[in-house]
A = this chain, B = another copy of it.
Amino acid sequence: MLAEIISIGNELLNGNTVNTNAVFIAQRLHECGIEVNWIQTVGDKPDDIRMAIDLAIKRADKIIMTGGLGPTHDDVTKNTLASYFHSDLEFNEMIYKRIKARFNKRGIPMPEENRVQAMIPRTADLILNEAGSAPGLIFKSKKKLIFVMPGVPQEMGEMLNKSVIPILMQECVGCHTSVHIFRTTGIAESVIYQRIKKALLQFSEYEVAFLPKVTGVDLRIIRRGTDSKNSEKFENLKNILYNAIGNYIYTTENLPLEAVLGKLLVNNKLTIGVAESLTGGLVQNKLTNIPGSSAYFMGGIVSYSNESKVKLLSVKKDTLVEHGAVSKEVAKEMAMGVRGAFHTDIGVSTTGIAGPTGATPQKPVGLVYIGLSYGPQTIAQKYQFADNREVNKMRSAQAALELVRRSILGLDI
């Protein structure tokens, strides 16, 4: 079963509104095993809407349209569809009463403009709107189904989940999908590909997507259809992946690294303190995005000035003079210092040159040291990133969290 999404609205074409409806619909359909092969975004223009339907009917079995069902002059979707499917508009008493009741409930008299929303194309089925005034519509045309919903995300979301998906699933007998995610960090997309490309050839029934982000590359693996051998075969694929890149996989759940690390800290009854220089608070901001992080994160220090490194983190003046603030030695002393200041099991630190300024011939932009003090050991790792200030900060923060994770698990560093 192939589906196509048509998003309608000038606000989507002038950059005023991010098309979150399309991604929401796409994700829900994908989870149900229905493939979306195309998304069209068009303005509130009858001719363009007609062309979009012409194309979608040729390419897909089911069409999901959103937008342009409001009561104002620039909402042309319903009239365009009524004429496209030769379906006259009729006044619908039930819908009219529902719209009127909605306004009464809010203590507002119904504006006359909203009356047009009760005019319904004769041949369309209705999808009731629990969260707004415009009903959704379903047109049938030569075995094709065309769903039309309002563009307001809350209204659309309700209709999609309560009405559209159940109808689609009834029709889609073979729809069954398993989706697996492998999140990696510290390894380049091309290196992952190099290591697993041969294996992928043996598992061509699996769709493997590489999703690179600043924080690492996600692998999303999808298997369609039901197959008794599926789980066994997937275990084989999983083993191959772990053998090739397991060292870099931090989760197979839809979680950020800071959540994975949080669980690890809780399970191991460990506390953590953070000393940040170039990351400027980002490591701690990530850690504290996780609900319940106050159980293991005690706090930290952003020591942007050398003075604060000495005073609050007990970094030795001599070390700063001899090696400079961006050095392995200072990273180690910062990690030890913050561990002491917050009486935590683990101290982690970052120091480096975020850019664009601050570089020297010996210390280029993107040079970063991450310190870690845990148990009897204090170490520091060197990194060289090559991005702009914000991205260098993001990569450094992710590397710091990952270094902690690997230390706790006893993985190679």
Please give the distance in Å from A3's CB to the nearest CB on chain B: 10
Chain B residues with CB under 8 Å of A268's CB are none
Q: Is A304 a contact of B312 with CB atoms below 8 Å?
A: no
- Interface segment among A85-93, A118-126, A244-252, A379-387: the answer is A379-387
Tell me the bound Cα distance from A190 to B102 in angstroms.
14
Tell me the bound Cα distance from A278 to B289 in angstroms.
9
The number of residues on chain A lying at the interface, defined by a beta carbon within 8 Å of a beta carbon of chain B, is 115
Chain B residues with CB under 8 Å of A41's CB are 22, 38-41
Mostly helix, strand, loop or mixed at chain A's interface? Answer: mixed
Tell me the bound Cα distance from A10 to B300 in angstroms.
41
Query: Does A46 belong to the interface (CB within 8 Å)?
Result: no
Q: Which listed residue, B208, B288, B387, touches A302 by the CB 8 Å rule?
A: B288
A residues 73-97 touching B (CB-CB < 8 Å): 73-74
Q: Is A281 a contact of B291 with CB atoms below 8 Å?
A: no
A residues 323-351 touching B (CB-CB < 8 Å): 341-343
Q: Is A72 a contact of B189 with CB atoms below 8 Å?
A: yes
Query: Does A235 belong to the interface (CB within 8 Å)?
Result: no
Chain B residues with CB under 8 Å of A40's CB are 38-41
Please give the distance in Å from A178's CB to the nearest CB on chain B: 13
Known: A113-B194, A288-B280. A27 touches B36 (CB 8 A): no
Query: Does A388 belong to the interface (CB within 8 Å)?
Result: yes
- 1/0 contact trace for A295-325 toward B, CB 8 Å? 0011111111101100110000000000000
A residues 260-291 touching B (CB-CB < 8 Å): 274, 276, 278-285, 287-289, 291
